Structure 1
Amino acid sequence: MMRNRITMAALAASLALSAGLAQAQDKPVMMKLSSWVPAQHPLNPSLQAWADDIKKASGGTITATLFPSEQLGKAFDHYDMARDGIADFAYVNPGYQPGRFPIFAGASLPFLFANGKGGTAAIDAWYRQYAATEMKDVKFCFAFVHDPGTFHARKKITLPSDIKGMKIRPATSTIAQMVTSLGGTNVQSSAPEAREMLERGVADAITFPWGSIPLFGIDKVVKYHMDVPLYVTPFVWVMNKSKYDALSAGQKKVIDDHCTTEWAEKVATPWADFEYGGRAKMAAGGHEIYKLTPEQLKAWRDATASGEQTWAESVKKVGQDPAKVMDSLKSNLVKYKSAL
């Protein structure tokens, strides 16, 4: 019996040593991670923590450098940067490229998401069934959202009719369609460029999450804030396919283990908390934060309802059933307690 125990212990030690040697023999890999938000943005520490955990799990064979603030390229270009290997991982707002990702655009329709934490789990679980088809140029890692955003403007916006004649910087192509349908004009800019657009009077209002208003200096140029969960911006974290294919089997598993719904939540939660806390900062800064009456809210829901039909037509064109796609998203929102 004692001999058997010794033999089993020796075998276990041998296997552990073999596994360690195999990991040690993996070629060192350096990853370039690209984030277009400013260095002080709460998303960046989360991405760094994600990368640090990959380093640990890979026995130090996969290391990464995070490049924030558009150092590797403009926010609009991040999907193509991951595709082309300019970045090995890239933080992408697919809504910056209207029409390119019609299925994913469904998540930015108004009045769907109640919060960012459960919303992140919901969108990631939902989109995994479509990512390989719609984003086939890259390896999908995970999807996430910020806490719901709204209108922040130079003047008070209470009804959909107030949008007529206004120049608005939309967060996504879906919100841009909503603005157009309400008689407004869209002014396109990435988040880092938004303050300048408002400051110069090129835009009268912006759709943005709360905490990022002061982060990007937009609180200096807008005063009125509509307190309603109007929309979320859905994002993806994607990888260059060739970089993934060049990894060892063990290294691929480490990456796969970090491209999950659980990791999407871990990465997105600090940002969701940050955005949620933005209301208090705006109120303390003397800004006017106002809620809508039930009648006003109904007017907004009625006025924006046609957006889903426009989205549905775009989804049909890529061979998908929009009703099935939207039902799947809504059921995940209910499952993860983020449905409005």
Structure 2
Amino acid sequence: MNRFHRPAWRTAAALALSLCALGAQAQDKSVELKFAHWLPASHPLAKLGFEPWAKSVEEASKGSIKVMLFPAQQLGKAADHYDMARDGIAQMTWVNPGYQAGRFPLIAAGELPFLLGKPGPSSAALDQWYRSYAGNEMKDVKLCFAHVHVGTFHSKTPISEPGQLKGMKIRSANGTVAQTMSLLGATNVQVSAPESRDAIQKGLADAITFPWNSIISFGIDKAVKYHTDMRFYASAFVWVMNKPWYDGLAAGQKKVIDDHCNNTWASKVGASWGDEEDSGRTTLEARAGHTLVKVTPEQLGAWKKAVEPVYTKWVEAANATGVNGTAALDSLRKELAARGAQ
């Protein structure tokens, strides 16, 4: 048999392979992913999280997924980013669920004071734990992953004991921190992170709960001089995606997204950003005019006792959704312990 007279089955197989290849090419047509967030484009999370993620997605998809970043509230206010992903204003958004207090009660476990420790392992633990609940609590969108930052008080006057908060005006990082401030007698000032410096400089707030390095990157170090040296609170964040956009992707493109929306990326982003945030502590300690306010073991014990009712309220809120709050909180604690994150 010469090469011009091969069997029909070989010809058919070759044709089928060619058609499959053409079909794959047709399926993997270029798509655009608008990724909106509300941080400055120069923020460490943009450089350590958003940009590397976008680059990795583009490379893994061989350029068929084009990621366009929209920072600094260009497409909408910080508190609107969940709904922006749901409604397709952006295909992906970075969301602080605590900006809409009470709307997402389960992930608020990641905001409980003194529960989370190092941001990297804490992010991995929270992400793994929350995947059991996200399908119901955030059913309007596709969860990519969750991560956290951990922070403390930055203030005009020193704060070392819970009793000192009474009568103060505090810009709280999220709904759970706001609840904690109310419990301890402070007044909450509700402004987003980009608006915080202005609020303090105008006297609308006396202190802010914030991670260490963002105090510098947002310029808030110009407005506050005292920094309480403890891990007081955490804020949980989610990267969420528009469901119809994801559903319309080719199979290979979906795999690329799935490979970038997992616990590994939650840990990676949580660690890289968290370590960068924590580095701000050393920077501020060395900066003239700034003071780290030390907290004694006795004072720390008083803080932890003072915030116990916040845990009770979280369990009640979880119970109201049909979830056993006590069991869920125990499960999160076990996940944190397993990763050395408490």
TM-score of the aligned structures, taking structure 2 as reference length: 0.92
Query: How big is the shift at 1:24?
Result: 5.8
SS in 2 for 1:149: strand
SS in 1 for 2:80: helix
> Partners in 1 of 2:341 and 2:322 — Cα distance?
28
Alignment of 1:79-228 (within 5 A): 79-146=82-149, 148-228=150-230
Q: Which residue of 2 aligns with 1:270?
A: 272
AA in 1 matched with 2:266: A
> Partners in 1 of 2:171 and 2:142 — Cα distance?
30
Which has the higher Rg, Structure 1 or Structure 2? 2
Query: How big is the shift at 1:301?
Result: 0.4
Query: How big is the shift at 1:60?
Result: 1.6
Q: Which residue of 2 aligns with 1:229?
A: 231
Query: How big is the shift at 1:64?
Result: 0.8
SS in 1 for 2:68: strand
Maintained 8 Å contact 1:23/1:250: no
Q: Which residue of 2 aligns with 1:51?
A: 54
> Partners in 1 of 2:339 and 2:121 — Cα distance?
5
> Partners in 2 of 1:40 and 1:62 — Cα distance?
23
> Partners in 1 of 2:327 and 2:21 — Cα distance?
45
Deviates more, 1:162-171 or 1:273-282: 273-282
Q: Which residue of 2 aligns with 1:6?
A: none
> Partners in 1 of 2:18 and 2:258 — Cα distance?
22
> Partners in 1 of 2:260 and 2:43 — Cα distance?
21
- Residues 120 and 19 (structure 1 numbering): CA distance in 2 closer, same or farther, change over 3 Å? farther
Q: Which residue of 2 aligns with 1:334?
A: 337
RMSD of Structure 2 on Structure 1 (CA): 1.8
Query: What is the number of residues matched between the two proteins?
Result: 327
SS in 1 for 2:157: coil
Residues 91-137 of structure 1: per-residue CA shift (max 9 Å, x gap): 00000001000001111010011111111111111101000100001
Which of 285, 300, 303 is the aligned partner of 2:303?
300
Is there any run of 5+ residues in structure 1 with no aligned partner, and where?
1-10
Maintained 8 Å contact 1:42/1:270: no
Maintained 8 Å contact 1:158/1:292: yes
Is there any run of 5+ residues in structure 2 with no aligned partner, and where?
1-12
Q: Which residue of 2 aligns with 1:311?
A: 314
Maintained 8 Å contact 2:27/2:250: no
| Structure 1 segments of 4+ aligned residues over 6 angstroms from their partners | 14-17
Maintained 8 Å contact 1:28/1:61: yes
> Partners in 1 of 2:45 and 2:79 — Cα distance?
18
Which of 78, 83, 87 is the aligned partner of 2:81?
78
Q: Which residue of 2 aligns with 1:22?
A: 24
TM-score of the aligned structures, taking structure 1 as reference length: 0.92
SS in 2 for 1:239: strand
Query: How big is the shift at 1:23?
Result: 4.5
Maintained 8 Å contact 2:119/2:271: yes
SS in 2 for 1:244: helix
SS in 2 for 1:129: coil
AA in 2 matched with 1:138: V
Query: How big is the shift at 1:208?
Result: 0.3
SS in 1 for 2:234: coil
Residues 165-203 of structure 1: per-residue CA shift (max 9 Å, x gap): 000000010010110001110000100000000000000
Q: Is structure 2 residue 83 aligned with structure 1 residue 69?
A: no
> Partners in 1 of 2:128 and 2:109 — Cα distance?
14
